[in-house]
Chains A and B, each alone.
Chain A
Amino acid sequence: MSRTFLGIPVHRGPGSAVGRPDEPFGPVPHPVEPLRWGPSFPEAAREALKNTRLRGNLAHATSTIRAKRARVVDEVPDWEALRDAGSAVKTRVLAELPELLQELERNVTARGGVVHWARDGAEANRIVADIAKAKGADEVVKVKSMATQEIGLNEALAEEGIGAVETDLAELIVQLADDMPSHILVPAIHRNRSEIRDIFLARMGDAPPDLSDVPRELAMAARAHLRRKFLSAKVAVSGANFAVASTGTLAVVESEGNGRMCLTLPDTLVTVMGIEKLVPSFEDLEVFLQLLPRSSTGERMNPYTSLWTGVTPGDGPQEFHLILLDNGRTSVLADEVGRAALHCIRCSACLNVCPVYERVGGHAYGSVYPGPIGAILTPQLTASSGGVSGHGDPNASLPYASTLCGACYDVCPVKIDIPSILVDLRAREVDADRSHPTVWGAAMKSASWAMSDAGRFRLAGSSARAGRMLARDEVIHHLPFPGSLWTGSRDLPAPPKQTFHAWWDERERAAAHPEEDR
Chain B
Amino acid sequence: MTDARTEILARIRAALGGGDQRVIGSSSDDRQPGLPITPQPADHVREYRTAGEHAPGSAEVLELLVDRLVDYRAHVVQIPADGVAAAVAAALIPTATGTPETVPGAVNGAVEPPGDGLARAPRAVVVPPGLDPAWTAALADAGVEVRTDTREAPLSNAELDSAAAVVTAARVAIAETGTIVLDGAPDQGRRAISLVPDVHVCVVRADQVVQTVPEAVRLLAPEADRPQTWISGPSATSDIELDRVEGVHGPRTLHVVVVQGP
Q: Which chain A residues have a beta carbon within 8 Å of chain B's beta carbons?
A: 57, 60-62, 64-65, 68, 77-78, 81-82, 84-85, 88-89, 91-92, 94-98, 101-102, 111, 116-119, 123, 167-170, 173, 186, 188-189, 192-193, 196, 208, 215-224, 226-227, 230-232, 244, 247-249, 255-258, 260-261, 263-265, 275, 282-283, 285-287, 289-290, 293, 297, 299-310, 312-316, 324, 326, 330-331, 333-337, 339, 417, 420-421, 423-424, 427-428, 430-431
Contact = CB atoms under 8 A, between A and B. Distances in A.
Contacts of B250: 256-257, 260-261, 303-304
A345 to B, nearest CB: 15
Interface stretch (B11-19, B54-62, B77-85, B94-102): B11-19
Given A61-B242, A189-B242, A424-B24, A260 B191 contact: yes
B225 A314 contact: no
B241 interface: yes
Given A84-B47, A282-B217, A123 B4 contact: yes
Given A219-B248, A315-B191, A336-B21, A256 B31 contact: no
A332 to B, nearest CB: 8
B114 A208 contact: yes
Interface string B188-200: 0011100110000
Contact of B113 (A116, A216, A304, A306): A216
Contacts of A282: 217, 220-221, 224
A195 to B, nearest CB: 10
Contacts of A169: 237, 239-240, 248
B240 A289 contact: no
Interface of B: 3-5, 7-9, 11-16, 19, 21-28, 31-40, 44-50, 68, 71-72, 107, 111, 113-116, 150-152, 154, 157-158, 161, 174, 176-179, 184, 190-192, 195-196, 213-214, 216-218, 220-221, 224-245, 247-251
B68 A300 contact: yes
B15 A78 contact: no
A78 B231 CA distance: 23
Given A89-B45, A297-B244, 19 more contacts: A78-B47, A78-B49, A85-B45, A92-B39, A96-B39, A98-B13, A193-B240, A208-B114, A255-B236, A257-B249, A299-B244, A301-B177, A303-B235, A306-B230, A315-B151, A330-B12, A330-B15, A331-B15, A417-B24
A289 B158 contact: no
Contacts of B111: 216
B239 A170 contact: yes
Nearest to B240: A215
A436 B102 CA distance: 71
